[in-house]
Amino acid sequence: MSTPNLKIENLRVSIEDKEIIKGLNLEINGGEIHAIMGPNGTGKSTLSSALMGHPKYEVTEGNVTFNGEDLFEMEVDERAKAGLFLAMQYPSEVSGITNADFLRSAINARREEGQEISLMKFIRELDKKMELLEMDSSFAHRYLNEGFSGGEKKRNEILQLMMIEPKIAILDEIDSGLDIDALKVVAKGVNEMRNPEFGCLIITHYQRLLNYITPDKVHVMMQGRIVKSGGPELAQRLEAEGYDWIKEELGIEDETVGQEA
Amino acid sequence: MSVETSFKYDKDYVGKFSESRQEPQWLLDLRLRALELAQQLPMPKPDKTKIDKWNLTEFNHISSKENGTELPEQVKALIGEDGEAGNLLVIQNGKTLRSSVTEELAAQGVIFTDLVTAVKEHGDLLQKYFMQDGVSVDENRLTAIHAALVNNGAFIYVPKNVEVKSPLQAIYFHDDEQSGLVNHVIVAAEDNSSVTYVENYLSTNNEGDSVSNIVSEVFAGPGAKVVYGAVDNLAKGMTSYINRRGRAGRDARIEWALGQLNDGNTVSDNTTHLVGDGSFADTKTVNIGKGDQKQNFVAQIFHHGKSSEGYILTHGVMKDAASSIFNGITKIEHGATKSNGEQTERVLMLSEKARGDANPILLIDEDDVTAGHAASVGRIDPIQLFYLMSRGISKAEAERLIIHGFLGPVVNEMPLESVKKRLVEVIERKVR
Ligand SMILES: Nc1ncnc2c1ncn2[C@@H]1O[C@H](COP(=O)(O)OP(=O)(O)O)[C@@H](O)[C@H]1O
Ligand SMILES: [Mg+2]
């Protein structure tokens, strides 16, 4: 199997005719963990949603290939089946569908008819992963995200990540709203996935998650572009000094999208 | 404006028909009076649904098709493994194909038989219930036509204090495109008895222009409990008028679980009168519309007795260009103190052209009561769809999951596993 690859070239994305992502380049390979950091409103969620195919976001320019294939030629479910995963900042709640049924449908969607995962095997896997994520087993039978607290939803996203085993995962603010213990649990889940066949893009505006998941590369996003890239030390400097020095360096007054002169 | 129809059956025809069935005088009289009324009375006027272009009156009365001796495959599929040995009624094209009741029940005085047999063997008992206090002959042209031409159905009688443990199952199967389905069900449960009855209406006439005119009357005597499950699955070529009505005596309970899943235009009314103090009704319905189907659903509970409780829960899914009216009516009469009535109607629309209209109506003539209602009409949330698809689930499967999720709370409350299973199957087929 070839190493997973996600290659973004000169991407531009609009929402309701307002351009949010303004020419973004990034390449992620299997075995690599990238982090995108940046203050609120700089386009991080827009980037991740557009890559997954969220209906509200319009890609106006640029190329994205996923394992050599044109990502934007694929439907949302095809992207997922090709191995792309997005842990969403605000996961939906769906009434009447249990977490377990949902996960089983997701797994079986990747399998041929007649090759569906056996119930026993599924339950075994699910139990194992829920235990690792310190989730109460009752969550399997609750309706999908319905009434889950913020932290429970985040854990549930990681549970899906672990059950589905994608090739490249984007984790959009998986750390927000988590206390330090929950943060460690989520990090444990992600670290468990780490291998040469798995690439990951962690989106966050705090450095603290990166204390538990050491990234290979760190990028800073402002005004809908990556404005600076470096190694883990960049994250540490941001933690210590904030974003102002980058803004100064680049002559940016307001880092959010749409504020530039 | 209702269209004037040349109703083709006359006194002579009805008289001969009754005679051929060796019916008692009371029934002949009732039929002849009904026939006269059928020519005078107006059509029913379902709220907000125009039925004047629907054919609900012109149909061939009796099927000329001969039944085989074997049960048709579609019927076998509904009965399941052990059904045939137990309490079962199968009527095909209006003709009784199977009618069995266990010896144990028969020994306790329980009657479970087809209407034709009931007329012959239990005429006096039947007369007490047949279109007297439940659905009246003279409500409208269609109830009158029903009485004049009623062809077959079921009669269930449970004597005092008898608890019928296993459910009674009836299947009304229609595979004759030409003839109508005029079917009548009576469930009479005497004091402190209990019974569960489950029926399936199934027809194969996708083409053509046929009519079903269905009446059910349920009587729960003091302290009795009746659970009534139904899956209506009549094909597109059948236009339906369905009236299911219950009367609950003191401390009696009636629980309805109705899957209203016909493919043709349908007017379906489910009404319960909580007559006795402390009586209870629970009405759960699942409804689906597809194609250009038009439907009108009424679920209503009248509280007459003190401390009576009534609950209505309706979930509907509208596809394509289907349109439906859902009227939930809770009426608490003066004097029905300490009563409680609650209802919820929810409609999910799957296309731009679909129409769903949910109207919760509370009519309260008594101060000392509690009542509540909730209603919603919505579409599938595209963000939900995106979320499910982002996990690799196809759009069709994601929609299927959302629909099942939406109907689940009602389906899961259905009293019997077999009804639940059957409902899921029909829902599956209908929303695909
Ligand atoms: N659904 C939306 N409708 C309108 N504007 C939006 C929407 N989503 C994002 N935006 C705008 O796009 C910009 C970037 O938002 P977002 O990508 O969520 O940033 P981040 O994730 O970095 O906080 C913001 O100015 C925000 O107001
Ligand atoms: Mg965001």
Is residue A172 a part of any domain in this protein? yes
Is residue A67 a part of any domain in this protein? yes
Q: Is the pLDDT of residue B1 over 60?
A: no
pLDDT confidence of residue B412: 86
Structure confidence by residue, pLDDT tens digits, B377-400: 999 999 999 999 999 999 999 999
Here the CATH number for the domain that contains residue A172 is 3.40.50.300
CB of B376 within 8 Å of a chain A CB? The answer is: no
B401: chain A residues, CB-CB within 8 Å: 94, 97, 101-102, 105
Is residue A20 a part of any domain in this protein? yes
Shortest CA gap B381–chain A (Å): 10
Q: How many CB atoms lie within 10 A of CB A151?
A: 17
Q: Which two tokens stand for residue B58?
A: 């012109």
Domain count, chain A: 1
Residue nearest to atom 24 of ligand 1 (CA): A41
Structure confidence by residue, pLDDT tens digits, A5-55: 999 999 999 999 999 999 999 999 999 999 999 999 999 999 999 999 999
d(CA B15, CA B7): 16
Residue A124 parent element (H or E):
helix A119-132
Is residue A243 a part of any domain in this protein? yes
How distant is the alpha carbon of residue B369 from its chain centre? 29
Residue nearest to atom 9 of ligand 1 (CA): A46
For chain B, which residues make up each domain, given as ranges? 20-379, 380-431
Is residue A226 a part of any domain in this protein? yes
Ligand 1 centroid distance, CA of A46 (Å): 6
CB contact under 8 A, B401 and A95: no
Give Dmax over CA atoms of chain A in angstroms.
Answer: 60
Is residue A201 a part of any domain in this protein? yes
Structure confidence by residue, pLDDT tens digits, A64-108: 999 999 999 999 999 999 999 999 999 999 999 999 999 999 999
d(CA A45, CA A23): 15
pLDDT confidence of residue B2: 41
Residue nearest to atom 3 of ligand 1 (CA): A15
d(CA A209, CA A203): 10
Is residue A154 a part of any domain in this protein? no
Residue A88 parent element (H or E):
none
Residues of A with CB under 8 A from a CB of B: 52-55, 75-77, 79-81, 85-86, 88, 91-92, 94-97, 101-102, 105-106, 109-110, 143, 160, 164
d(CA B304, CA B339): 9
CB contact under 8 A, B390 and A85: yes
Structure confidence by residue, pLDDT tens digits, B335-374: 999 999 999 999 999 999 999 999 999 999 999 999 999 9
**Residue list, ligand 1 pocket, CB within 6 Å:** A 15-16, 20, 38, 40-46, 56, 256-258
User: Between A and B, how many CB-CB pairs are < 8 A?
Assistant: 81
To the question of pTM greater than 0.90 for the whole model, the response is: no
Is residue A115 a part of any domain in this protein? no
A54: chain B residues, CB-CB within 8 Å: 383, 386
Which structural domain, as residue segments, surrounds residue A239?
5-96+167-250
